[in-house]
Structure 1
Amino acid sequence: MSQANAIVLYDVPSSVTQPWVPNIWRIRFILNFKRLPYRTVWVELPDVETTLLSIKAPPTSYRSDNRPVYTLPVIVDPLRSRTKPMVLSNASTIAEYLETSYPARPVYPEGSRALQTLFVHYLQDVFVKPLLPILVPLSHQRLPERSQAHTPVNHPPQLSGPQREQAWRAVKEQFDILALTMDKNSGTDGDGVVTMGHEVSYADFSLCSVLIWIERVSPHDGWPRVRSWHEGRWIRLYDRCKEYMDVF
């Protein structure tokens, strides 16, 4: 397939050598797992709304005053319509579309879509919250200068000392809860590493997207901590997903 016919994934550039935005990684994992040809278009944050309006991408959400909000990820699929490309926003919407439109190599094993959707909502709404005060300032530092100026953060520039340790303890509590839950898949019910028991799925890709975020923006503090927790469970999950981490 030519580059002109490949799916386009819009992502955010940064100073690190590999992308790190978790919601966008969820989609990249699916594209790689399904072996769908795609290419990445890098868009700095000040240019996101203009760029997405130019390709007629739907808003991700709406503000309280009903003004539209445009965020990444966004994909453009030139092959699913004879009249015009399919343009989609919102990671959950894109994941559903890719699974329905390209059912080979499913990321939702049969009968698991509802439970996996709830699991991903839990990751977004509960699991990652303690990480935000730590990783949002670090992520901001890794944006290009234009994007940093466009999106000032409200958190302290970087937690240090007792504040940082307290924050990581809160993160560890969430990892403890998740480890206890996933341990129920050990033995005859699974390998104890992946969410659905034996094979990687969308839930694993969503969780591994958070691990990538930690690894890329906190490689010398956060990632060594997480690697050491729960007898290396999280690095084993990372390794299971590693073959789907290509960036095109």
Structure 2
Amino acid sequence: MSLPLITLYDVPATIPQPWAPNIWRVRFILNYKRLRHRTVWVEFSDVEATLRTIRAPPTSTRSDGREVYSLPVIIDSLRPTSSPIILSNVNTIAEYLEVTYPARPIFPEGSRAMQSLFVHYIQETFARPLLPILVPLTHQILPERSQAHFRGVSAAAQPVQLTGQQREQAWRAVKEQFDFLAVILDKNSGSDGNGIVAMGHDVTYADFALCSVLIWIERISPHDGWARVRQWNNERWVRLWELCRNYMDVY
């Protein structure tokens, strides 16, 4: 009989390692909390059908009432309950894992509100200038079946590559966000903090959200994007990467 574990659903690519930032946030937590888990790979074209089959809750509902299904999703079979727990939405999953498996907390006491604001900033503001750069590159490393899925959705779903000048302008906007965040995190420097992690001392959910974006850059644009980012702000982002390295295993 197989051992109980947590199943994490992720999307495959033609590169060796996974790339999706929201899914990496969950993988970081599973590794950090040392929870036994495995990855199931689902092509984009199969996500909705697969999630409906396992009765995963929709991620959201559109204005027209249509339910939206997206990853990450987990199935938790570790708990001795009558049926597995199935969850979607990265923040819902993070909260569930913290409450259900409180050892090695990702939300130190009293930090939930501030970390939630930090993660919202990372997702909605910090990472936004990366979209016109990385989305077209991400599309290129998807399996052909997934690329065909997006081509079939609509012409607008096919990302457009930036020209050289447009790309440099986009990277300048990205650097502005990195520079701003570096100034904020530097407030943790000094005798009471190292200035690298968001909460000042140990890695937390906020750092996993940020490092998930770094992984996206490194996996999708190693020779251009990551080569730039790793030099910015006195190599601060490489140091954060190294702090999170122990939690990057893929099972």
**TM bracket, shorter-chain basis:** over 0.9
Residue number in structure 2 paired with 1:5: 4
Query: How far apart, in 2, do the equivalents of 1:169 and 1:82 lie?
Result: 51
Number of positions where the alignment pairs a residue of Structure 1 with one of Structure 2: 246
Check conservation: 2:139, 2:159, Cα contact below 8 A: no
How far does residue 149 in structure 1 lie from its aligned partner after superposition?
A: 1.0
Deviations 1:94-124 (A, max 9, x none): 0000000000000011110111011000111
Query: How far apart, in 2, do the equivalents of 1:242 and 1:102 lie?
Result: 22
How far does residue 160 in structure 1 lie from its aligned partner after superposition?
A: 2.8
Question: Secondary structure of 2:9's partner?
Answer: strand
Residue 230 of structure 2: which of 213, 227, 232 is its match? Answer: 227
Deviations 1:52-111 (A, max 9, x none): 011100000011101100000000001335221100000000000000000000001111
Residue number in structure 2 paired with 1:72: 71
Check conservation: 1:127, 1:174, Cα contact below 8 A: yes
Where in structure 2 are there 5+ consecutive unaligned residues? 152-156
Question: Secondary structure of 2:183's partner?
Answer: helix
Where in structure 1 are there 5+ consecutive unaligned residues? none
Kindly provide the amino acid, as one letter, of the partner of residue 39 in structure 2: T
Deviations 1:103-156 (A, max 9, x none): 000001111011101100011111111000000000111110010111243431
Question: TM-score scaled to structure 2, two decimals?
Answer: 0.96
Query: How far apart, in 1, do the equivalents of 2:63 and 2:80 lie?
Result: 33
Question: Secondary structure of 2:218's partner?
Answer: helix
Residue number in structure 2 paired with 1:115: 114
Alignment map for 1:6-155 (pairs within 5 Å): 6-80=5-79, 82-152=81-151, 153-155=157-159
Check conservation: 1:211, 1:238, Cα contact below 8 A: yes
Alignment map for 1:146-165 (pairs within 5 Å): 146-152=145-151, 153-156=157-160, 158-165=161-168
| Pair 1:245 & 2:248 matched | yes
Among all aligned residue pairs of Structure 1 and Structure 2, give the percentage whose two residues are the same amino acid: 67
| Root-mean-square deviation (Å) | 1.1
Residue number in structure 1 paired with 2:197: 194
Kindly provide the amino acid, as one letter, of the partner of residue 73 in structure 1: P
Query: How far apart, in 2, do the equivalents of 1:176 and 1:60 lie?
Result: 32
